[in-house]
Amino acid sequence: MTRPASIKRMHPYLKEWVIMAPATDVRPWNGAVLNTVAADEPDFDPTCHLCPGASRSNGAENPRYLDTYVFDNDFASLTLDSEARGICRVVCFDPRHNVTLADMETEQIESVLRTFAGQFNEMASIPGMEYVMLFENKGKEIGVSNPHPHGQIYATDFIPRIPSTMYASAQEFHAVSGGCVFCDALGKELKSGQRILASNEHFVAFVPSFARFKYEVHLMPRRHVPFISSLGSSEIRAMAELYRELVIRYDNLFARRIPNITVFYNAPTKQGLDLSPWHFHVQFAPPVRAADKLKYLAGFETGGGNIINPSLPEDSAAELKRASANRTSVVSS
């Protein structure tokens, strides 16, 4: 059967069309390409502001931490005493300078997730904070200034646009059907099975049918909970197991460490909001279309707001399924 040149699918969380145009993925490319050979980083870099015992840019000395380490960002975009009120923190995942989450054992990733959960509770309790976003930016290609494995946390006195839109969509779906828009999407993916990458007792990882990015993956708990801190001990462990599998698959997809943006979508923390419509989940959005090509948002996407995915989600899921889920030596070094 001949495939259409392009299709569009409604994104149920964002209430916007996503265009899938696989024909654009094979067009001639004379644009920028990425260096696919990873830099040879040391286990410890004394000039790195995130390494244990090293001095940060503000003169503070990091403790010689052995697990995770959290501190307030020295170059914060938000502060509690400014008009743009909020707080920004850095979460170092590991004392080793030259690893990523894909290099860590499940227990170490579990420790990172528990740190995120604890920080979420702490920052959500700050008066006036309406949203707490946990995220990781990975890769120099997308502007990360320090390769040391780390994530960030932003607590804001407003709900950012995307989670605000997601909450409104979830609230509307709940009002009309009494159900959860996220549970509904998960149920459809489980029924289809076509885009499921991995699952266990507590979590499911899948490429959503409405993926905006070529290798986008959602990691969602089977149980309906609003926050990462709502998860039980066995659920955190199960989440760590699938999280590790996913980041290894990403590395093995192109035999390199591809850049990635990972966002933990918790419910808003604004006082008085009904939390019942929200379903905590994680979205992985690697901004790549090939091993050596980034996905750029150009005129139509930046100006119009609708994303063009250069692949069908079913095809991307098949690619990720073929990528090994085992830690191997395929990553370029």
Q: Looking at the annotation, which residues are catalytic?
A: 150
Q: Give me the half-sphere count of Cα atoms (radius 13 Å) on the Cβ side of residue 18.
A: 22
Residue 186: alpha-carbon gap to chain centroid = 17
Residue type, 134: L
Q: 97 is written with which tokens?
A: 């300078």
C-alpha span between 282 and 250 (Å, rounded) = 15
What is the Cα–Cα distance from 280 to 236, expressed in whole angstroms? 12
The residue whose two tokens read 């149980």 is: 223
Cα 218 to Cα 13, 84, 284: the distances in Å are: 12, 30, 6
The span from the CA of 242 to the CA of 238, in Å, is 7
Token pair for 182: 């996220």
For residues 23 and 5, what is the distance between their CA atoms, to the nearest angstrom? Answer: 6
DSSP codes of every residue in 213-258: STT-EEEEESS--SSGGGS-HHHHHHHHHHHHHHHHHHHHHTTS--
- What CA–CA distance (Å, rounded) separates 239 from 247? 12
Residue type, 215: Y
* Dihedral sign computed on CA atoms, order 294, 299, 303, 308: negative
Residue 108: its H or E element: helix 106-124
First-last CA distance in the chain = 42
Structure tokens at 103: 């290099």
φ, ψ (nearest 5 deg) of residue 284: -100, 125
**Which residue type does 255 have?**
A
